[in-house]
Structure 1
Amino acid sequence: MVQIDFHGGVDEIGGNKIHVKGKENSFFLDFGKSFNKEGDYFSEFLQPRKLNGIMDLVEFGLLPSVKGLYREDYLRHCGLNHYEKPATDGILISHAHLDHMGYLHHIRDDIPFIMSQETYLIIKALEETGVAGFNNYLSYKTDFLYMAKARLSKNSNTTHKKANARDIKKNRPIEIVEPYKDFSIGEFTLQSAPVDHSLPGATAFLADNGEEALVYTGDFRFHGKRAEETRKFIKKAKKFSPTTLITEGTRIDRDKNTTEEDIEQRAHELSLSHQGLIIVNYPIRDLDRFLTFYEAAQNSDRTMVVNTKQAYLLNEFAGKGYPEIDDVAVYVPRRTWGLMGGQSQVCFDEEWVKSSEIDSEYILGDYKGWEKDYISWENNVNYRDLQENPEDYMFQCDYFEFKELIDIKPENAIYIKSKTEPFNDEMEIDGRREKNWLKHFNIEVHTGFHASGHACAPEILEMIREIGPESVYPIHTRDARAFNVLKDDGIEVKYARLK
């Protein structure tokens, strides 16, 4: 008998945290952040407090109250001194979207994280290039720790200082799994199965303990560049003869999808017809979408310009079928003192000097450690390059980088929005600001360039019918009742309940 406890992903899109328990062993399927539910209590300027460990999130049911799951430093800091044996034998990560792995930071350091190689690389990029906070996904840095510090006086007792994160960082136990190769978690034999989604490395999982055969789809689609991977998964899952299928149903209310091929065609046509700067905004981890715009740029004799975070990710994926970092230009923004670009002046001993005349070491001082690897390359550009030769570039510019438009001062520019439409209040507010910025600079907006990362209703239902499980749990959806039609096929539809 296998017990399945749902701690997220129920009557919501995202937040998957599913605990699968056998006789002696167990594992979690994903450990994601619930954006909508977290947004009910927290915002950009009202964040959970690290000083309270996990308790701010537990207070509102955003983290499950499971003993033996969370990191010792947070528990002890909260006055919870019971640090029990691990509550599970591993956490399987289907892909590197925050609604599937965003709460990994809070997990204790002796529970393995199991994922594909591509998922590992993307999470690594998230941790290395992200803003410090709750982002110890692959590493572990003990908080609330004082380290010994000798006093200068030989007669004094030893004192202590707050630990430096660089001194206490260690790697978490990470297990990389290969497609369709067996691996074990105690009594369970498992396989990972690649699927098409809106970023590389997405996988479904198949698990069998001799009594139950379980299939978990993660997030999947059929209309991207890797649709054949999803079709192969379905064939394998059918042969697996699952007793239980846990499937996402994000777009169970939609009858069709825009395809990646549709976006490719429109992007190519638009890049050829426009003579000025083309600004594109797409999800940075969606390397297939990046590839679509990169090819459109190449087709119109433009150079694709990416930000430093995208450059970092491309470097991690070198040799995996995507353009290399040398194939693009890296946009270097002005940071801190704003010395990049050569127009600013700084004062040396009461003499003002243009930044174009000072040593590069002063300019490098404006940037974070990881960024310094990308701002000294020959293939760099800055706002002045986009100002002077706008027709030569396709410029990746996220909403949070709109400040660059003040420096670039674009003329005759167009903006291609290739992201999902707002689905919560905070995104609606961001969307209004986005429109204000674009209107201010008279930038022509082109929408409809988004292809969802999820299958639509006919595809989901046909997938389930082809696999033929005894029962199905719809999750990652707001309309689980839409799956009732499967009862006519002899498939029992079960409704997940939060534990």
Structure 2
Amino acid sequence: MTTITCYGAVGCIGGNKILLEDGDARLFFDFGLDFGHAGRFFNEYLRPRAARGLLDPLALGLLPPLEGLYRDDLAFAGLWERFRPHPLYRDVRRDGLPADAVLLSHAHLDHNADLSYVNHAIPIYATRVTAFIARAMQITGQMSFERELIYVNPRTPSESGELKSDSKAAYRCRPHYFVDGALTPEAQDYWAHLPKSDSGKGKDFAPACAERAADSVNGLPIRWWPLDHSIPGAGGYAVRTSAGWIAYTGDLRFHGKNGELSRRFARDLAQLHPVALLCEATRPDPDPSPITEADIIANATALVRAASGRLVVADFGPRNVERLESFAQVAHEAGRALLILPKDAYLLQAIALADPDRYTPPELWPMLQLYADPKAAPRPWERTLRDAWPTPLVGPTEVSRNPGAYILCFSLWDANDLLDLQGVEGGIYLYSSSRAYDDEQAADLDRLRNWVRHMGFTLYGDPDDANRVPLHASGHAAGPELVEFVATVRPDILIPIHTERPEWWEQELAGSGVRIQRPELGKPIVLA
């Protein structure tokens, strides 16, 4: 029997956790965080308690109660007795691993963040770039048990029962199988070692499998396609089950630089005649004039040229490498240097290691320079990067002396560093990111506007300004593109996920012959 059970992305955007079972084969499409649900309980200061492991996310419904799926070191004595009466509870323990694999579509946290809680021995299938982005983020980010996507810091109970880091246990790396080919020797070396720890003491590191993926998972053939999205390494999957092919889009668009990849995905899926298609619909409304990266380059170049002699700050998503490439082109056209922070340079180095045929190491980009934001004690990975950077670092003094020579890549989270600059009043701030999707993001946008006003900058691209200069292209397909995609694929059944409006599909596909099967949280959809 083939079943699909959605434990996330049901009537909401993100939090994809989709279980596919066929006979004794069991795999997940993604395992992400539902930011909307999490935001009802947590913010950047109020977080799940590491000392209580799985308790907080299970009790608040952020994780499905699937006993056996998660890390044993995060389950204190008596934890599961509390959740066995839950209506969605299920015991997935069996001989061997509780799941055969997690197929990751891309490295956005709403698709991969909750891997932190999953049994670290379960294999991860992903592109090389997706895995290396997650690794770079874990190394450069704040150390937290919520972000142990690639390697795990084992916990052990204290005498009183609270969980604490086991100082004697080695970090444990999750086994990865790369759907787009094997790593180069240089990438293998990077993957097999961790930078020295912040404490300087270091812990042993137990690397796991990192090799090219096989063509099947526990007897189920799998296929993968690269897709156009706002992060490198994104892809979609199809799995052949006893009921037929089941396809999963992850997130996709058609208006980016690589839109043809998504169109090829549609054509190839059509040849498989899938019995079911799990498809996103983040923004189902029509977009009569979709903004492309070419539009952003043209608009930003015009603004930067008009700001001659003044500082330009560019604000965009931290993993939107396509947008970074666009602003590098803007910098070239305007005769400026593009300044990036060490964490961004580290990410770009990791991506170039993962896919050297597609991506160039950042130190070889002609217009790129490293901004040395003042720090009393940079972390070891950052000290190594700064010391090895081939050109002189640029700091606040240089930018203050000649602001018209630079485009500075900052976001709200770097705003404190703007206070190091002097004489930059009259500069422009180019907001090249998405609108606010909840109250917390709206509050962040207000804080950003306050910083821009305080610095004496002019803000362009404000998503709440109806007359704004367009500086952002969505990472998701619009409604008419999604309808055309499904019309090309022609699945027997469409399962709407990653959308707040599943009923939209029923309206748009009425009379098409495609049956819409709305998922219910934790309820299996039986295909055969």
TM class by smaller structure: 0.7 to 0.9
Q: Secondary structure at the match of 2:61?
A: coil
Matched, 1:271 2:291: no
**Which among 344, 351, 369 is matched to residue 329 of structure 1?**
369
1:117 alignment partner in structure 2 = 128
2:295 alignment partner in structure 1 = 262
User: What's the offset of the Cα at 1:163?
Assistant: 3.2
Contact 1:291/1:323 (<8 A) preserved = no
Using a 3 Å threshold, how does the CA distance of structure 1 residues 181 and 58 change in structure 2: closer, same or farther? closer
| Distance in 1, Cα, partners of 2:175 & 2:218 | 16
Q: Which moved more, 1:463-472 or 1:85-94?
A: 85-94
User: What's the offset of the Cα at 1:388?
Assistant: 0.6
CA RMSD of aligned residues (A): 2.0
User: What's the offset of the Cα at 1:182?
Assistant: 6.3
Q: Which moved more, 1:404-413 or 1:289-298?
A: 404-413
| Distance in 2, Cα, partners of 1:375 & 1:192 | 37
Matched, 1:310 2:344: yes
Q: Secondary structure at the match of 2:483?
A: helix
Using a 3 Å threshold, how does the CA distance of structure 1 residues 290 and 78 change in structure 2: closer, same or farther? farther
User: What's the offset of the Cα at 1:320?
Assistant: 4.1
**Aligned residue pairs, count:** 456
Q: Secondary structure at the match of 1:192?
A: strand
**Which among 470, 477, 491 is matched to residue 469 of structure 1?**
491
Contact 1:253/1:479 (<8 A) preserved = no
| Distance in 2, Cα, partners of 1:486 & 1:80 | 43
Matched, 1:451 2:473: yes
Q: Deviations over 1:285-307 (max 9, x none)?
A: 11000000001101111111001
Q: How many percent identity over aligned positions?
A: 30
Contact 2:229/2:252 (<8 A) preserved = yes
Using a 3 Å threshold, how does the CA distance of structure 1 residues 178 and 461 change in structure 2: closer, same or farther? same
1:345 alignment partner in structure 2 = none
Q: Aligned ranges for residues 236-247 of structure 1 at < 5 Å?
A: 236-247=268-279
2:155 alignment partner in structure 1 = 143
User: What's the offset of the Cα at 1:255?
Assistant: 3.0
Q: Which moved more, 1:167-176 or 1:113-122?
A: 167-176
| Distance in 1, Cα, partners of 2:425 & 2:359 | 31
| Distance in 2, Cα, partners of 1:104 & 1:22 | 22
TM-score (norm: length of structure 1): 0.88
Contact 1:487/1:493 (<8 A) preserved = no
Amino acid at match of 2:350: E
2:113 alignment partner in structure 1 = 102
1:196 alignment partner in structure 2 = 228
**Which among 209, 222, 240 is matched to residue 254 of structure 2?**
222
Amino acid at match of 1:488: G
Larger radius of gyration: 1
| Distance in 2, Cα, partners of 1:185 & 1:237 | 19
Contact 1:52/1:78 (<8 A) preserved = no
Contact 2:243/2:275 (<8 A) preserved = no
Q: Secondary structure at the match of 2:286?
A: coil
Q: Secondary structure at the match of 2:68?
A: coil
| Distance in 2, Cα, partners of 1:263 & 1:454 | 16
User: What's the offset of the Cα at 1:260?
Assistant: 1.6
Q: Secondary structure at the match of 2:252?
A: coil
User: What's the offset of the Cα at 1:379?
Assistant: 3.4
User: What's the offset of the Cα at 1:278?
Assistant: 0.8
| Distance in 2, Cα, partners of 1:77 & 1:104 | 22
1:351 alignment partner in structure 2 = none
| Distance in 2, Cα, partners of 1:105 & 1:272 | 45
Amino acid at match of 1:498: L
Contact 1:212/1:243 (<8 A) preserved = yes
User: What's the offset of the Cα at 1:144?
Assistant: 2.1
2:467 alignment partner in structure 1 = none
1:170 alignment partner in structure 2 = 172
Contact 1:114/1:176 (<8 A) preserved = yes
| Distance in 2, Cα, partners of 1:101 & 1:172 | 13
2:379 alignment partner in structure 1 = 368
Contact 2:155/2:165 (<8 A) preserved = no
Matched, 1:490 2:507: no
User: What's the offset of the Cα at 1:282?
Assistant: 0.6
Contact 1:2/1:212 (<8 A) preserved = no
User: What's the offset of the Cα at 1:272?
Assistant: 2.1
Q: Aligned ranges for residues 271-310 of structure 1 at < 5 Å?
A: 271-275=304-308, 276-310=310-344
Amino acid at match of 1:192: W
| Distance in 1, Cα, partners of 2:357 & 2:372 | 25
Contact 1:72/1:83 (<8 A) preserved = no
Q: Which moved more, 1:268-277 or 1:317-326?
A: 317-326
User: What's the offset of the Cα at 1:145?
Assistant: 6.2
Q: Secondary structure at the match of 1:375?
A: helix
**Which among 281, 287, 295 is matched to residue 249 of structure 1?**
281
User: What's the offset of the Cα at 1:110?
Assistant: 1.6
| Distance in 1, Cα, partners of 2:33 & 2:55 | 15
